[in-house]
């Protein structure tokens, strides 16, 4: 079974079938791109995987475990990070704090027992947080050495993640995220996603608003993080050059349904894809 396994996934909004019986799988360490015309249902697939919407039908499994309909926060706790197409940084928090918040799920000195809670039964899951949270608050105030150590590590981690973006973000480290330009806010989102140390990374049009050189830069960056962190990535992007060069496989959606799947080269010349998505230039 593949690392991410989506089976017969559907989602309707009123009469509209935004996602229509889609099945796909992503192997561990693979980079798969999801492309398709506007309104094809790509973002909705992300929303279904991350539990933002409950699916109308179908299953989603991550690493052999069923995560269909799991609350959003718990999907993240299992190592799924995503960026948003419309760019949702924590506008009032500083750039660095945005990244630090991204690390939330794997802080165990500051959030004692959090990992445990997820493994409890339904009753325990309701009761345990009330015992855990006051403890977390106490640690936040007292800041024992273990917590301080983790804070220091977190600060280093944040610095190194922001460092990946060269000089683009580091000088703005302390500034609120809303004061960055559009494309830089999107870079903050990627940095935040990396801080989660994801096993599966969902990127929704990361290159929107970047010129060819900047796109190329981000492409190198994605390739780099893939190598360094061994990430599994599902990518939505309209910039074809990048898709063709980065992807192991490409899946094409149209009107909510999968119309093609294959290597970049295969997909590129598929007449259906050319017709629905690429237009005459391809």
Partner 1 sequence: MLDQVINGLVLGNIYVLLAVGMALIFSVANLVNFSKGSVFMIGAYVGWALISQLGWPLWAALLAAALGCGLLGVLIERVALRPLEGAPPIAPLLSTVAVAFILDNLGLLLFKPETRAFNAPLPTWRLAVGGVNVGLLDILIALISLGCIGGLYLFLYHTRLGSGVRAAAQDRDAALQMGVDVDQARSLVFGIASALAGIAGTLLGIYYNSVNPAMGFSAGLKGLIAALLGGITSLPAALVGGLLLGQIESLATAYIGLSYRNLAAFLVLVLILALRPEGLLGRAAQRGYEVTTGVFFSVGKPRRVPRSVLVGVVLAAVLLPLIPNSDYVVQVLFIGLVYALLALGLNLVAGAGQVSLGQAGLFAIGAYGSALLTAKAGLPFWIALPASAILAAILGVALAYPALRLRGNYLAIATLGLAEIVTQTILNWEGLTNGPLGLFGIPAPRLGGLLFVGARPYYYLALVLVAVSAWTLTRLGRSQLGRTLGAIREDELAAETYGIETGQYKALAFGLGAAVAAVGGALFAHSSTYISPDIFTPAISVLVLTMVILGGLGSVPGVVASAVLLIALPEVARPVADARWLLYGVLLLLLVRFRPQGLLGREPKQSLSRGQTNVGVKSPEPGLGTQPEFAGTQGK
Partner 2 sequence: MLSLHNINAFYGPIQALFDVSLEVRQGEIVCLLGGNASGKSTTMKTILGLVKPRGGQVVLDGEDITSLATPQRVRRGLASVPEARRIFPRMTVRENLLMGAYTRRDKAIGDDLARVLDLFPRLKERLGQSGGTLSGGEQQMLALGRALMSRPRLICMDEPSMGLAPKLVQQSFELIQQVNAQGVTIFVVEQNAQVALSIAHRGYVLQNGAMALSGPAQELLHNPDIRRVYLGEVAA
- Site residues, ligand ATP (CB under 6 A): 13, 16, 18, 36, 38-44, 85, 179-184, 209
b/e map of 180-190 (b: 16 or more CB within 10 Å)?
A: beebbbbbbbb
Instruction: Give pairs for 68-75: CB < 8 Å, separation 24+.
Output: 74/118, 75/49, 75/50, 75/51
Closest-CA residue to 248 (of 229, 234, 230, 269): 234
100 contact choice in Mg ion, ligand ATP, partner 1, none (CB below 5 to 8 Å, kind-dependent): partner 1
Q: Which does 214 bind (CB under 5 to 8 A by kind): partner 2, Mg ion, ligand ATP, none?
A: partner 2
Question: Is 13 one of the binding residues for Mg ion (CB under 5 A)?
Answer: no
Residues 6+ apart with CB under 8 A from 40: 253, 254, 255, 256
**Tokens at residue 137, please?**
């608050």
Nearer Cβ to Mg ion (212/230): 212
215 binds partner 1 (CB under 8 A): no
What's the closest the beta carbon of residue 30 comes to ligand ATP, in angstroms?
A: 21
Residue 227's Cβ-count burial label (10 Å; 0-12, 13-18, 19+) is: exposed
Give the count of residues interacting with Mg ion (CB under 5 A).
3
Integer distance in angstroms from the first to the last C-alpha of the chain?
35
* From candidates 12, 85, 94, 197, binder to partner 2 by CB under 8 A: 85
Stretch that binds partner 2, among 36-44, 93-101, 130-138, 226-234 (CB under 8 A): 36-44
Q: Is 176 in the site for partner 1 (CB under 8 A)?
A: yes
For position 96 contacting partner 2 by CB under 8 A, the verdict is no
The length of the chain, given as a count of residues: 282
Is 219 near partner 1 (CB under 8 A)? no
Q: Which helix (H) or strand (E) holds 262?
A: strand 257-262
Phi, psi of 200 (to 5 degrees): -125, 130
Number of residues near partner 2 (by CB under 8 A): 36
Q: Should residue 182 be labelled a site residue for Mg ion when binding is judged by CB under 5 A?
A: yes
Count of residues near partner 1 by CB under 8 A: 58
Token pair in block for residue 54: 């409950």
Give least dist CB 15 to partner 2, A.
Answer: 11
Strand partners, 24: 6
Which letter does DSSP use for residue 94 in this model?
Answer: B
Contact positions vs partner 2 (CB under 8 A) = 13, 36-40, 43, 85-87, 168, 179-184, 205, 208-216, 238, 240, 276-282
* Site residues for partner 1 per CB under 8 A: 47, 50, 52-53, 71-74, 76-77, 81-82, 84, 86, 88-94, 97, 100-102, 104-105, 107, 110-111, 129, 133-134, 136-137, 140-141, 143, 147, 151, 154, 166-168, 171-172, 175-176, 178-179, 181-182, 184, 192, 196, 211, 213-214
């Amino acid at each position: 079974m593949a690392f991410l396994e989506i089976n017969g996934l559907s989602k309707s909004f009123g009469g509209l079938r935004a996602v229509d019986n889609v099945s796909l799988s992503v192997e561990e360490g693979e980079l798969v791109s999801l492309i398709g015309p506007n309104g094809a249902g790509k973002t909705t697939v992300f929303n279904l995987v991350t539990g933002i919407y409950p699916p109308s039908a179908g299953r989603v499994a991550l690493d052999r475990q069923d995560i269909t309909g799991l609350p959003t926060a718990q999907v993240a706790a299992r190592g799924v990070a995503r960026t948003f197409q419309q760019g949702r940084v924590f506008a009032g928090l500083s750039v660095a704090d945005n990244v630090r918040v991204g690390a939330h799920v794997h802080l165990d000195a500051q959030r004692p027992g959090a990992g445990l809670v997820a493994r409890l039964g339904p009753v325990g899951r309701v009761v345990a947080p009330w015992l855990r949270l006051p403890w977390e608050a106490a640690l936040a105030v007292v800041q024992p050495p273990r917590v301080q150590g983790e804070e220091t590590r977190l600060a280093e981690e944040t610095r190194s993640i922001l460092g990946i973006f060269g000089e683009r973000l580091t000088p703005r480290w302390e500034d609120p995220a809303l004061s960055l330009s559009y494309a830089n806010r999107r870079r903050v989102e990627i940095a935040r996603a990396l801080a989660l140390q994801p096993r599966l990374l969902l990127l929704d049009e990361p290159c929107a608003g970047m010129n060819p050189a900047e796109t190329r830069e981000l492409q190198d960056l994605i390739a780099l993080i893939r190598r360094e962190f061994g990430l599994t990535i599902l990518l939505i992007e309209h910039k074809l050059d990048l898709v063709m060069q980065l992807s192991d496989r490409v899946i094409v959606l149209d009107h909510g349904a999968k119309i093609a799947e294959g290597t970049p080269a295969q997909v590129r010349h598929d007449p259906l894809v050319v017709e629905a998505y690429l237009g005459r230039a391809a």
